[in-house]
C-alpha cells in the first residue's frame, strides 16, 4: 500500500533537512574517525559509559569538524539508544562502520573493535596523504601550464597579430599555426566555455539515472589506462575490509553484504551481489571470487585460506601486500609523470616563444636592410 502523498513528502523533506544540517564536506576525514575511535575505545576500556565517553570527546579541538555529529550521537545515546542505531542516523558514519559497531555490541568486544577500526582508518588516512603529497607537484605544473598558455594566447599573441599582418612578410608555418589557434580561441572561446559548462551540467544530471551511472562505472572499471593499478587498489581495499570483518567474528556473507551496501560503484556492487548469490548456491569462496575485478593473488590466497581454515589471515596478508605494492606503483607512476609534464610545458612555451621570436627577428633584419 502506497503512503499518502503528503506523508511521503514530509518524510522526504525531513531527510533533505537532515542532510542540509550536516557540515558539508566535513567529518569524513579518516584521521578524524581514527582519533575519535581510538580515544573512544580507551574510555570504554576504562569503564566509562558510551554516552559519557562521547560527551568527553565532543568538545576537543581536534574533533571540531565532528562536533555536530557527536552532539547528535550523545543525545541519542543518553536517551538509551544503542550505539549502532545512533550512528546509523548520521550520514557521516558509513554502513561499514555502523555494522562493525553493531558486531562489537553483539559480541561484547566494542572497545577492541573500535581500536581495530581506529587503526584501519589511520592507515587509510596515511595512504591518502601520501597520494595527495605525491600529486601536489604534477597538479601545480599542470595549473601553471594552463595559466601560462591562457596568458600568452589572450594577452601576448594578439599584440603581435596586427604587427605580423601589417608587415606583409612571409611567416613560418609555426607562427601561422599559432595565429590560427589564437584567432580560433578569440572567436569561439566563449562558445567553447559555454558548451563545456553545458556538457558538464548534462553529464551531472544524466548520472542521476541508474542505468547511465552503471554504464559509466563499468566503463571506468574496464578502462585500460592504469587498469592494473586500479585493480590492485580495489583488491587491497576489499581484502583489508574483509580481514577486519572476519577477524571480528562477522560471517563472510554478512561481511560481503556490509561492503556491498557501502559501495558507490554500481558495477562493483552488482559483482558483489553475484558473489553472495554464488556462495548461497554452494560455490566455494575461491570460485565466487574468481572474477576479473580482483587480482590473481587474491584468488590464490583465498584458495590457500579455504584449505587451511585461515581465510581472514589470507585476506589480511593480501591487503598488507598490496598496501606496499600500490604505494610503490603510485610513486613510480608519478616519477614518470613529473618529467613528462615538465617536457610538455617546456615544449609548448618554447613553441610559442619561438613562433613569436622568429618573425620578429626577420622584421628587425628587414628594417636593418632598409
| CA distances (Å), origin 189, targets 122, 179, 194, 233, 330 | 46, 14, 9, 39, 36
Q: Which of the residue ranges 61-70, 220-229, 280-289 has the most confident prediction, judged by mean pLDDT?
A: 280-289
Question: Quick one: pLDDT at residue 268?
Answer: 92
Give the whole-number percent of the chain exceeding pLDDT 90. Answer: 18
Among 36, 26, 34, CA closest to 65: 26
Contact 326, 229 (CB under 8 A): yes
Q: How far apart are CA 69 and CA 58, in angstroms?
A: 9
Integer Cα distance of 178 and 9 in angstroms: 58
**Nearest Cα residue to 178 out of 5, 365, 349, 366:** 349
Predicted local distance difference test score (pLDDT) of residue 368:
54
pLDDT tens digits, 199-209: 999 998 988 88
The predicted pLDDT at position 33 comes to: 82
Question: What pLDDT is stored for residue 123 in this prediction?
Answer: 81
Integer angstrom CA distances of residue 273 from 85, 229, 234, 257, 259: 25, 24, 16, 8, 10
Alpha-carbon separation of residue 245 from 1, 97, 114, 185 (angstroms)? 37, 10, 12, 55
* The C-alpha cell that represents 253 in the structure block: 556473507
Average pLDDT over residues 24-31: 53
Give the confidence band of 279 by pLDDT, cuts at 50, 70, 90. Answer: very high
Integer Cα distance of 345 and 142 in angstroms: 8
> Which residues, other chains included, contact 11 with Cβ-Cβ below 8 Å and sequence gap of 6+?
3
Lowest-confidence region among 136-150, 157-171, 266-280, 284-298:
157-171
**Percent of the chain with pLDDT strictly greater than 70:** 88
pLDDT at residue 1 tops 50 = no
C-alpha cell at 169: 612578410
Write down the mean pLDDT value for the chain. Answer: 81
* Residue 198 confidence (pLDDT) above 90: yes
Please give the pLDDT value at position 321: 92
Residue scoring higher pLDDT (150 or 347): 347
Report the SS3 class of residue 2: coil
| CB contact set of 90 (below 8 Å; sequence gap of 6+) | 22, 69, 72, 73
For residues 179 and 37, the model is more confident at: 37
Helix and strand counts by DSSP (H, E) for the chain:
16, 0
Place of cell 570527546: 57
Report residue 273: phi and psi, to 5°. -65, -40
Residue-level pLDDT at 269: 92
Amino acid at each position: 500500500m502506497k503512503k499518502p502523498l503528503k506523508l511521503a513528502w514530509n518524510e522526504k523533506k525531513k531527510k533533505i533537512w537532515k542532510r542540509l544540517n550536516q557540515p558539508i564536506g566535513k567529518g569524513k576525514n579518516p584521521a578524524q574517525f581514527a582519533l575519535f575511535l581510538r580515544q573512544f575505545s580507551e574510555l570504554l576500556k576504562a569503564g566509562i559509559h558510551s554516552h559519557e565517553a562521547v560527551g568527553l570527546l565532543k568538545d576537543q579541538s581536534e574533533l571540531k569538524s565532528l562536533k555536530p555529529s557527536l552532539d547528535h550521537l550523545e543525545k541519542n545515546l543518553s536517551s538509551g539508544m544503542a550505539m549502532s542505531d545512533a550512528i546509523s542516523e548520521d550520514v557521516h558514519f558509513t554502513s561499514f562502520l555502523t555494522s562493525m559497531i553493531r558486531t562489537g555490541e553483539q559480541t561484547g568486544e566494542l572497545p577492541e573493535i573500535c581500536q581495530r577500526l581506529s587503526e584501519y582508518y589511520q592507515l587509510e588516512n596515511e595512504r591518502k596523504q601520501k597520494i595527495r603529497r605525491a600529486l601536489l607537484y604534477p597538479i601545480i605544473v599542470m595549473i601553471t601550464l594552463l595559466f601560462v598558455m591562457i596568458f600568452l594566447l589572450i594577452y601576448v599573441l594578439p599584440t603581435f597579430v596586427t604587427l605580423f599582418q601589417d608587415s606583409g612578410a612571409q611567416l613560418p608555418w609555426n607562427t601561422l599555426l599559432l595565429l590560427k589557434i589564437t584567432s580560433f580561441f578569440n572567436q569561439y572561446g566563449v562558445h567553447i566555455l559555454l558548451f563545456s559548462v553545458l556538457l558538464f551540467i548534462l553529464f551531472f544530471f544524466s548520472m542521476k539515472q541508474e542505468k547511465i551511472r552503471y554504464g559509466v562505472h563499468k566503463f571506468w572499471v574496464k578502462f585500460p589506462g592504469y587498469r592494473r593499478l586500479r585493480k590492485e587498489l580495489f583488491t587491497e581495499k576489499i581484502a583489508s575490509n574483509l580481514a577486519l570483518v572476519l577477524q571480528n567474528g562477522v560471517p563472510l556473507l554478512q561481511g560481503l553484504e556490509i561492503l556491498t551496501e557501502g559501495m558507490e560503484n554500481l558495477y562493483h556492487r552488482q559483482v558483489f551481489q553475484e558473489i553472495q548469490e554464488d556462495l548461497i548456491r554452494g560455490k566455494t569462496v575461491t570460485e565466487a571470487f574468481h572474477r576479473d575485478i580482483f587480482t590473481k593473488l587474491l584468488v590464490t590466497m583465498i584458495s590457500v585460506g579455504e584449505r587451511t581454515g585461515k581465510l581472514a589471515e589470507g585476506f589480511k596478508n593480501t591487503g598488507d601486500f598490496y598496501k606496499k605494492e600500490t604505494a610503490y606503483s603510485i610513486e613510480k607512476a608519478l616519477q614518470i609523470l613529473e618529467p613528462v609534464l615538465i617536457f610538455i610545458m617546456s615544449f609548448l612555451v618554447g613553441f610559442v616563444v619561438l613562433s613569436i621570436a622568429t618573425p620578429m627577428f626577420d622584421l628587425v633584419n628587414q628594417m636593418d636592410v632598409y
